[in-house]
Amino acid sequence: MSEPETFALDVVEAAPLSPALAARLRQLTPARIALRRSGISLATGEVLEFQLAHGRARDAVHAPLQPAMLLAALRKFGGPEPILLHSAAPDRPTYLKRPDLGRKLNEASRKRLETLANEPCELAIVVADGLSALAVDRNANPLLAELLPLLKLTFPAMKLAPICVVEQGRVAIGDEIGNLLSASLVIVLIGERPGLSSPDSLGAYITWQPQPGRTTDAERNCISNIRAGGLSYAQAAARLMHYIREAREKRLTGVALKDPEELPMALDAAKQGEAK
């Protein structure tokens, strides 16, 4: 019997990053790169920075929304009086344990919207705390300050529903709100799950003719990481305008709609429209 064939494996250890290269990479990303070490362990400073980032992420999940400040800021945009709503989750602990309750309105909020649903509207904008009220507090108003003027210039006849602010809300709560307001299109601005480098990331979800309990995530388009250190407000507004145009033309959203080929082109188009 012949001897079994053996193979030699070459083990190649990655060379450590040079301090200069590590410094250059850190300028491009907040990710943890080339962390300092003490023997086989991370240096104390690196461990403390990680614990601080983790603590900020946890705080962002549990921090309450500041609805009075948010509503006051939204009133400055003009238009219909913004509406404060609440999901079926009565408090934050319940919201975190029962995602299903964050996807539907409580009875009082549902009845309030039913009294406002006089005639259909074209667009409903929902601002929900999600998993980071901090993201909403920091980013919702700057984004709307970019988006609303573009909407007015591009679609001057578009009927907008009152902006709805939702406490303890999930993305799908926009389906019920849009349905009650007979909105053709719903945009939900919501705090995203905090990361260790981004506890304040805002997401935007766009849905055509949402149906509570039936609309799936595949029927939405999402714009993520909207914040000062991520996707800029102007870029996010340009992407939203792209999806709004496409949704109105094709009467759908989701996987059937593609991202703009070049974001700078979409942004330039938005600026040109603003200049006219």
- 150 domain residue, yes or no: no
d(CA 20, CA 6) in angstroms, rounded, equals: 42
Q: Show the 3-state SS of the chain.
A: CCCCCCCCCCCCCCCCCCHHHHHHHHCCCCCCCCCCEECCEECHHHHHHHHHHHHHHHHHHHCCCCHHHHHHHHHCCCCCCCEEEEECCCCHHHHHHCHHHHHCECHHHHHHHHHHCCCCEEEEEEEECCCCHHHHHHHHHHHHHHHHHHHHHHCCCCCECCCEEEECCCCCHHHHHHHHCCEEEEEEEEECCCCCCCCCCEEEEEEECCCCCCCCHHHEEEEEEECCCCECHHHHHHHHHHHHHHHHHHCCCCCCCCCCCCHHHHHHHHHHHHHC
pLDDT of residue 266: 44
Within a domain: 93: yes
Q: Is residue 268 part of a domain?
A: no
What's the pLDDT tens digit per position in 233-263?
999 999 999 999 999 999 999 998 887 765 5
Quick one: which of 66, 240, 87 has its CA closest to 172? Answer: 87
Q: What pLDDT is stored for residue 274 in this prediction?
A: 41
CATH of the domain at 101: 3.40.50.11240
Residue 4 lies in a domain: no
Taking Cα atoms as reference points, which of 125, 122, 126, 118 lies closest to residue 155? 122
CA-CA distance, 93 to 78, in Å (whole number)? Answer: 34
* In the block, residue with structure tokens 């909407």: 151
Domain residue limits at 206: 66-140+155-232
pLDDT tens sequence across 155-202: 999 999 999 999 999 999 999 999 999 999 999 999 999 888 889 999
pTM check: above 0.85:
no
The answer to the question of residue 250 being in a domain is no
| Amino acid 117: pLDDT | 66
105-131: average pLDDT: 91
Please give the torsion angle defined by the CA atoms of residues 77, 79, 80 and 81, in that order, rounded to the nearest 10 degrees.
Answer: 30
Residue type, 216: T
In a domain, 183, yes or no: yes
Share of the chain above pLDDT 90, in %: 63
Total number of domains in the chain: 1
pLDDT in tens, 7-28: 454 444 455 677 788 778 777 7
Please check whether residue 205 lies inside any domain of the structure.
yes
Q: Contact 98/178 with Cβ under 8 angstroms? A: no
Largest separation between any pair of C-alpha atoms in the chain: 88
On whether residue 197 sits in a domain, the answer given is: yes
| pLDDT in the model for residue 30 | 73
Q: How far apart are CA 55 and CA 71, in angstroms?
A: 28
